[in-house]
Amino acid sequence: MSQEIHQNDIGKEFVVETGIALAGASVHNLVVKKGDGTIVTWTAVIAGTTLTYTSVAADFNVAGTYKMEASVAFGAGSVHRGKVHTFRVLSAFGD
């Protein structure tokens, strides 16, 4: 996550390599803990072993430290979580 992200940014792309083949996954999400502690789920697009998500309005409505991890499932009882990625969302003026 080397891109700079500001509050209310739209169109930021996240590509997360899972290391496992995702064909047939029934759930393919990025679970995100926002800077205020709110936990949200972003549905990602599958491509081979990667999950891709492009941010939309309200994804970065809060400045602060965010944590994100992949969450995929291949049916009941088969949930796999990935490495936690931490990144900072700056205020609209970069504070």
Domain ranges of the chain: 5-90
pLDDT tens digits in sequence order for the chain, 95 residues long: 567 999 999 999 999 999 999 998 999 999 999 999 999 999 999 999 999 999 999 999 999 999 999 999 998 778 899 999 999 999 977 66
- pTM given for the model: 0.89
* Nearest residue to 30 via CA among 44, 46, 48, 13: 44
End-to-end CA, the chain: 19
For the domain made up of 5-90, give the CATH fold.
Answer: Immunoglobulin-like (2.60.40)
| Token pair listed for 36 | 């205020």
